[in-house]
Amino acid sequence: MEGLAADVVRIAAANILLVLCAHIVLPLPWTPVPITGQTFGVLLVAVLLGARRGALTLALYLLEGAAGLPVFQPLGLPGPARFLGPTAGYLFAYAPAAYITGWIVQRGVTPLRIYFRIHSNAVRLLIALIVGEVIIFTGGCAWLAQAMRLGWSNSLRLGALPFLPGELIKMALIISIVGGLEFARAKNRNRSSLSGR
């Protein structure tokens, strides 16, 4: 039961993180898609919780938004109508992105491993984050192109390109957070082994 209780606490904490990240928002006048902290939250949750827990957290987050809870960034349509607006494609991509990003991190498997030997956890993490970003922005741009009828070139111009610098910063932050957690974990292990002697 301790494992289930711990999972519930982790998922609840991750959900709070997602809501907080969603409320970091900066509207851009030339695009219907604002800059938010949501992709940072999605990818951090995926990396920290893994594939299944990460995807479950994102599915619950989307259900909360569909039920009308104020969990999404505050500038869009309310409740279920958000899934018809310009940011719907990004939202639909969150759970698959979390699953695949978490899976790559958990397994230490990368698409490039077929061609290169990848030993560095940082490189694996970076590849997982890039894959997650590609999934999210592909979903977002596909929705803008098809459902919003903006066409692919406009969708890329309005739904991906303005966000690239910010996404690089978010990925760097996630890598730093994970590195800090790994350092703290290793330091704690060293203390435990020394005190056990």
Beta carbons within 10 angstroms of residue 77's beta carbon: 14
- Determine the distance from the C-alpha atom of residue 41 to the mean position of all C-alpha atoms in its chain, rounded to a whole number: 5
Counted domains in the chain: 1
pLDDT above 70 for 79? yes
Residue 25's DSSP bridge partners are 36
Contact status, residue 45 vs residue 18, Cβ threshold 8 Å: yes
The pLDDT tens digits for 16-70 are: 999 999 999 999 999 999 999 999 999 999 999 999 999 999 999 999 999 999 9
Q: By percentage, how much of the chain surpasses pLDDT 90?
A: 75
Question: Domain containing 76: what range?
Answer: 2-195
pLDDT above 60 for 156? yes
The pLDDT tens digits for 109-155 are: 555 444 444 456 788 899 999 999 999 999 999 999 999 999 999 99
Contacts of residue 192, defined as CB under 8 A and 6 or more positions apart, other chains included, come to none
The pLDDT tens digits for 122-133 are: 888 999 999 999
Band (pLDDT 50/70/90 cuts) for residue 190 is confident
Tell me the C-alpha distance between 135 and 100, whole Å.
9
Please state whether 78 falls in left (phi above 0), alpha (psi between -120 and 50) or beta.
beta
What is the reported pLDDT for 196? Answer: 61
Band (pLDDT 50/70/90 cuts) for residue 186 is confident
Beta carbons within 10 angstroms of residue 89's beta carbon: 25
Tell me the C-alpha distance between 134 and 42, whole Å.
13
What is the reported pLDDT for 114? Answer: 45
Provide the CATH number for the domain around residue 52.
Answer: 1.10.1760.20
Tell me the C-alpha distance between 70 and 179, whole Å.
32
Tell me the C-alpha distance between 155 and 143, whole Å.
8
What is the reported pLDDT for 116? Answer: 47
Tell me the C-alpha distance between 86 and 107, whole Å.
34
What is the reported pLDDT for 149? Answer: 95
